[in-house]
């Protein structure tokens, strides 16, 4: 390898060398962090909700007028009965919210009534005996609600369910067991809004309504309460279609509900949403950020590649005679190609070394300023590999042109 | 050592064919010091580039050290240039980004020689041309004569069978030209085969044998009226200064 003479020659072209190395370093620092952010966002948006989303859809039902709580409860039960009778529907339930919705109820759970601070926050979902089947939740311990346990609750009533079903993540938080089994929570008493309640069932997973970072600590700590919400504002019907019949069920749902009563509004815009749409809405900022970071990476890499092509082409043009002399002195075309490839590899390696330091520094700043996670070294290695490979690809065309320079160029006087 | 027979070099464009060399014949024996002379545009530099395998020829035969070179591929030609030929150019052709040591090292690296052997040869060559103390200097820090001496050291370091010199004193003043020429004579006395292209009759006179090229052909000087015309032209120019 001719590393020493290449380094000697580069010392005579400090400005170009330093500029391109700096560009590589900056690109590496940004690309590493951007790739890390992309990975985090993609991991976030592909986080499992714990529910069977494929054939699930949601109807946001707003009531018209001022019906009494009893009238509303009767209407809801009639609606659910009509929906469940549709041939394309597997099951249906009703709730105050649903996973990934963004808005809903969170409450603290305590182990003792006089406990000053809650042991944990948890998402509260209203549910009837059909909810587990509708959402496709997996019951891992205990039992589901019975029909006779389901009550109804007004918006201003106290939340005091006698029994609850909770998620495994919440069970483990409330009653950590040595052997890691969530069953330890089964039959235990906890306090929800200072009201005593008993855990009768544990489901494997059920994500909270919010996908925001502030809710990440209790993202899978959820409580199902055996209640129907009779709020004059409205309610959410969750409907599980039969396999392959999602479209048919979604088309049939609104006319079926309107046939039960016309005193309701189902918005044309977002009154009827498949769960795929719910997921897309929930994570659109994550997706947008991942796309934006991806575009930033591609643009930066393209600019860096263009810089390498430009500088190498300039150097090849400037050194035509020198290349001719090298050829006259015995260099093969392969030697010339190797010279420029090695030269680029040296510059890129220098830039990459500086870039690694910059990437880590930039990440530390992001950690302090935006509470980001620490950059995994894997992303630094991936970034270095991408930059070195890009450099070699970018330099290939000008290096091949250089290799075509004839040895007779050495005798040209102009 | 170097034998060209009925060699031709034609440059073709869409409308015209130009013969740079036509029925060119030359035979340089091992250990000879031959000067190739001729007016500008006569084809002597073309001869040198073909002799040095820097470019190909159109017709005829060329044997270098017993090998017919017309069918050799680019790699084989590079290898012969590297191992058998030493070049001395009018414009020195040192690589400005490299110091004297690294410049002399260039052909040795392409030969794949080990570092210790390279270093030994480089220092021997530089000592021979009297520039061992300037090994770390860059070409721009040397005079023209010193640069040409470095070029000669580079040509000698690989122990070539044939030394090709293209107007080696063309860019030097009289004193420096004399010292470079004396160095070439010394190298020749030690057994090297040298072919030197020059348009300077005085320089050519120092060689063992002169070959005159006019219009791309080697001519017999005694019979060719163009030679006498050229000599008269040179004499007139010399007296007129």
Tell me, what's the pLDDT at A372? 78
Tell me, what's the pLDDT at B225? 59
A332 in contact with chain B, both atoms CB, cutoff 8 A? yes
Tell me, what's the pLDDT at A104? 82
Please write the tens of the pLDDT for every residue from B69-126: 988 999 999 999 999 999 999 889 999 999 999 999 999 999 999 999 999 999 999 9
User: Are A5 and B98 inside 8 Å of each other by CB?
Assistant: yes
Q: How far apart are CA A94 and CA B123, in angstroms?
A: 92
A2 in contact with chain B, both atoms CB, cutoff 8 A? yes
pLDDT confidence tier of residue A69, bands split at 50, 70 and 90? confident
A211 in contact with chain B, both atoms CB, cutoff 8 A? no
SS (H, E, C) chain A: CCHHHHHHHHHCCHHHHHHHHHHHHHHHHHHHHHHHHHHHHHHHHCCCCCCCCCCEEEEEEEECCCCCHHHHHHHHHHHHHHHHCCCCEEEEEEECCCCCCCCCEEEEEECCCCCCCCCEEEEEEECCCCHHHHHCCCEEEECCCCHHHCEEECCCCCCCCCEEEEEHHHHHHHCCCCCCCHHHHCCCEEEECCEEEEEEEEECCCCCCCCCHHHHHHCCCEEEECEEECCCCCEEEEEEECCCCHHHHHHHHHHHHHHHCCCEECCCCCCEEEHHHHHHHHCHHHHHHHHHHHHHHHHHHHHHHHHHHHHHHHHHHHCHHHHHHHHHCCCCHHHHHHHHHHHHHHHHHHHHHHHHHHHHHHHHHHHHHHCCCCCCHHHHHHHHHHHHHHHHHHHHHHHHHHHCCCHHHHHCCC
Nearest to B206 by CA among B28, B1, B33, B39: B33
**Helix/strand number for chain B, H first, E second:** 8, 10
B132 in contact with chain A, both atoms CB, cutoff 8 A? no
Mean pLDDT of chain A: 91
Residue B41: pLDDT above 70? yes
What is the value of ipTM here, to two decimals? 0.89
DSSP code of B139?
Answer: G
Please write the tens of the pLDDT for every residue from A157-185: 888 899 999 999 999 999 987 666 768 89
User: Are A8 and B99 inside 8 Å of each other by CB?
Assistant: yes
Tell me, what's the pLDDT at A183? 80
Q: Please name each of the domains of chain B with its CATH number.
A: 28-46+73-239 (3.40.50.300)
Residue A67 tokens, joined: 């019906």
Mean pLDDT of chain B: 88
Tell me, what's the pLDDT at B14? 83
A346 in contact with chain B, both atoms CB, cutoff 8 A? no
Nearest to A317 by CA among A390, A411, A405, A414: A405
Please write the tens of the pLDDT for every residue from A315-335: 899 899 999 999 999 999 999
Tell me, what's the pLDDT at A1? 55
Q: Which residues pair with B195 in a beta bridge?
A: B34, B164
pLDDT confidence tier of residue A189, bands split at 50, 70 and 90? very high
Nearest to B22 by CA among B64, B60, B53: B60
DSSP SS3 for B131:
coil
In chain B, residues with a C-beta closer than 8 Å to the C-beta of A326 are 95, 106, 110
Mean pLDDT, rounded, for B41-48: 91
**Residue of chain A nearest B154, judged by CA positions:** A329
Nearest to A240 by CA among A49, A83, A56: A56
Most trustworthy range by pLDDT among A170-179, B162-171, B219-228: B162-171
Whether pTM exceeds 0.95: no
């Amino acid at each position: 390898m001719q590393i020493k003479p290449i380094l000697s020659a580069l010392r005579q072209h400090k400005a170009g060398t330093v500029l391109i190395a700096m560009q590589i370093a900056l690109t590496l620092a940004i690309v590493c962090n951007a790739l890390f952010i992309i990975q985090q966002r993609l991991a976030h948006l592909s986080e499992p909700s714990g529910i069977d989303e494929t054939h699930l859809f949601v109807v946001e039902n707003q009531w018209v007028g001022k019906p009494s709580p009893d009238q509303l409860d009767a209407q809801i039960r009639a609606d659910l009965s009509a929906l469940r009778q549709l041939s394309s529907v597997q099951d249906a339930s009703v709730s105050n919210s649903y996973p990934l919705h963004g808005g809903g109820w969170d409450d603290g759970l305590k182990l003792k009534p006089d406990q000053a601070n809650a042991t944990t926050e948890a998402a509260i979902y209203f549910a009837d005996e059909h909810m587990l089947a509708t959402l496709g939740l997996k019951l891992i311990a205990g039992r589901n609600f019975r029909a006779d346990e389901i009550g109804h609750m007004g918006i201003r009533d106290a939340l005091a369910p006698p029994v609850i079903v909770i998620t495994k993540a919440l069970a483990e938080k409330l009653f950590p067991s040595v052997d890691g089994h969530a069953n330890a929570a089964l039959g235990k008493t906890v306090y929800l809004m200072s009201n005593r309640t008993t855990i009768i069932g544990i489901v494997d997973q059920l994500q909270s309504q919010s996908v925001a970072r502030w809710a990440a600590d209790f993202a899978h700590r959820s409580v199902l309460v055996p209640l129907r919400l009779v709020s004059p504002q409205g309610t959410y019907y969750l409907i599980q279609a039969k396999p392959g019949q999602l479209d048919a069920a979604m088309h049939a749902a609104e006319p079926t509900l309107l046939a039960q009563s016309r005193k309701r509004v189902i918005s044309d815009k977002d009154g009827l949403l498949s769960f795929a749409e719910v997921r897309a809405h929930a994570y659109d900022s994550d997706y947008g950020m991942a796309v934006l970071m991806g575009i930033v990476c591609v643009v930066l890499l393209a600019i860096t590649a263009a810089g390498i092509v430009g500088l190498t082409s300039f150097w090849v043009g400037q050194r035509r005679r020198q290349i001719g002399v090298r050829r006259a002195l015995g260099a093969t075309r392969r030697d010339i190609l190797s010279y420029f490839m090695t030269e680029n590899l040296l510059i890129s390696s220098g830039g990459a070394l500086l870039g690694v330091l910059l990437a880590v520094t930039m990440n530390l700043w992001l950690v302090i300023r935006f509470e980001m996670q620490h950059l995994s070294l894997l992303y630094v290695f991936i970034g270095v590999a991408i930059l070195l490979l890009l450099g070699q690809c970018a330099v290939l065309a000008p290096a091949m042109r250089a290799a075509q320079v004839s040895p007779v160029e050495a005798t040209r006087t102009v | 050592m170097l034998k060209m027979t009925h060699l031709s070099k034609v440059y073709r464009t869409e409308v015209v064919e130009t013969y740079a060399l036509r029925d060119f014949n030359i035979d340089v024996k091992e250990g000879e010091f031959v000067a190739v002379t001729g007016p500008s545009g006569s084809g002597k530099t073309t001869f040198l580039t073909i002799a040095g395998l820097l470019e190909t020829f159109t017709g005829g035969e060329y044997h270098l050290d017993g090998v017919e070179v017309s069918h050799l591929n680019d790699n084989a030609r590079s290898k012969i240039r590297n191992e058998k030929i030493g070049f001395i150019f009018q414009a020195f052709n040192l690589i400005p980004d490299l110091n004297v040591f690294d410049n002399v090292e260039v052909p040795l690296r392409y030969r794949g020689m080990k570092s210790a052997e390279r270093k030994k040869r480089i220092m021997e060559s530089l000592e021979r041309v009297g520039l061992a103390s300037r090994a770390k200097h860059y070409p721009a820090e040397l005079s023209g004569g010193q640069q040409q001496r470095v070029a000669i050291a580079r040509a000698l370091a690989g122990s070539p069978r044939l030394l090709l010199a293209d107007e080696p004193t063309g860019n030097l003043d009289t004193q420096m030209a004399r010292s470079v020429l004396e160095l070439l004579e010394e190298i020749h006395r030690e057994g090297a085969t040298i072919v030197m292209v020059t348009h300077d009759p005085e320089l050519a006179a120092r060689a063992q044998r002169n070959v005159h090229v006019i219009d791309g052909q080697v001519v017999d000087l005694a019979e060719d009226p163009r030679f006498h015309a050229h000599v008269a032209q040179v004499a007139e120019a010399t007296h007129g200064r």
